[in-house]
Structure 1
């Protein structure tokens, strides 16, 4: 079953565009995951440092161009909340990465099948 030349070109173009888009998105998602991993590690280090401080130590957080004295439990709660948000975001990025990898692989396989069928 042979396809007309124009239809074949159109199918090849669509599949290759889908493959290229998935590849670009994969690169972006992987960069985002790397950045979130770095942020998560910084939060863990900050949390461990704050936890090791004596309770009477004054802790300051940056707000715009100034620093505000903040109680240690408030800082720990904020760090915990940010860590949970990063965990959720990493989970979503993992799902997106899996989807894009499948899309990329399927597009690549489809492209190979079309090319084999055209020969």
Structure 2
């Protein structure tokens, strides 16, 4: 039983729009992953630099347009929390990336199968 041309065209259009959306989202998620990796690396570098400082060295934390004097342990604790948040967000973004890659691949496979079968 053959599928009518109108239905086949509509089905292909739906699948191709899903594939295009997944491809667009893949680019966005990859950019977000790169951004989080940069943020994580900056936190690591900041902690490395602070390890080289003496414990009594005054350090400042940027708050809006001003800087507030803070202790090194407080800054390290804040960086540790931000690092954990980055790891969690990276894990979620990796899951989203895997889902979108699978969706994109399946959409393309379905389009090829429809075209080979009777398009």
TM-score norm. by structure 2 comes to 0.97
Aligned-partner Cα distance in 2 for 1:117–1:8:
11
Instruction: Report whether the alignment pairs 1:53 with 2:53.
Output: yes
Instruction: Report whether the alignment pairs 1:23 with 2:23.
Output: yes
Stretches of 4+ moved more than 2 A in 1? none
Aligned-partner Cα distance in 1 for 2:107–2:5:
20
Instruction: Give the structure 2 partner of residue 79 of structure 1.
Output: 79
Instruction: Give the structure 2 partner of residue 66 of structure 1.
Output: 66
Aligned-partner Cα distance in 1 for 2:79–2:86:
10
1:55, 1:72 within 8 Å by CA — same for their partners in 2? yes
Aligned-partner Cα distance in 2 for 1:49–1:81:
18
1:65: Cα distance to partner?
Answer: 1.3
Instruction: Give the structure 1 partner of residue 41 of structure 2.
Output: 41
The gaps in structure 1 that reach 5 residues or longer are: none
How many equivalent residue pairs?
A: 119
1:58: Cα distance to partner?
Answer: 0.4
1:19, 1:108 within 8 Å by CA — same for their partners in 2? yes
TM-score norm. by structure 1 comes to 0.97
1:33: Cα distance to partner?
Answer: 0.5
State the secondary structure of the residue aligned to 2:61.
strand
Give the RMSD, CA atoms, in angstroms: 0.7
Aligned-partner Cα distance in 2 for 1:26–1:118:
30
The gaps in structure 2 that reach 5 residues or longer are: none
